[in-house]
Amino acid sequence: MTTSQRTLSIIKPDATRRNITGQINQRFESQGLRIVAQKKIRLSLAEAEKFYAIHKERPFFKDLCAFMCSGPIVVQVLEGDNAVLLNRQIMGATNPANADEGTIRKDFAESIEANSVHGSDSEESAHSEIQLFFSELEIVG
């Protein structure tokens, strides 16, 4: 069964720095996801810490938040059939060393931290992550 879903995607500072947001968006669009909201922003440290609060006890939390503030990011809502899982397949494994051929992280990520993209890991987190960045009026399906 297919269900239309929305998921939150972030194109991270390592990717905006290398000017490859278009190449990344092409991966989403060519594999069935529609970009129904998108904006380029720069996170404050407090905003990054709020977004990644679930990881606050992890040893990489401080570095991760500093990295996410180190340059602009593109936040976007992707929509399509099974968008949460489909986006995770398109991104590939968190660690680019473990990512499958043809995935964004295999082809573009620099490291486990500078791994080019974030995507929500469940429908529940998609819902709350989308609300952190977008109002319903800004999402145009």
What count of residues does the chain have?
141
**H or E element: which one contains 33?**
none
Minimum distance from residue 112 beta carbon to ligand CMP (Å): 5
Residue of 12, 27, 105, 118 marked catalytic = 118
The H-or-E segment that residue 7 falls in is: strand 4-11
Instruction: For the CB of residue 52, give the shortest distance to ligand CMP in the complex, in Å.
Output: 6
Q: Where do contacts with ligand CMP occur on this chain (CB under 6 A)? A: 55, 60, 64, 94, 112-113, 115, 118
The least distance separating ligand CMP from the CB of residue 124, rounded to whole angstroms, comes to 15
**Positive or negative, the Cα torsion across 118, 82, 86, 93?**
positive
- Nearest CB to ligand CMP, comparing residues 97 and 140: 97
Q: Which is nearer to ligand CMP, 39 or 56 (CB)?
A: 56
Question: What residues have CB less than 8 Å from 53, skipping those under 6 apart?
Answer: none
| 127 a catalytic residue | no
Nearer to ligand CMP among residue 6 and residue 118 (C-beta): 118
Burial class (CB in 10 A: 0-12, 13-18, 19+), 44: exposed
Positions annotated as catalytic residues are: 118
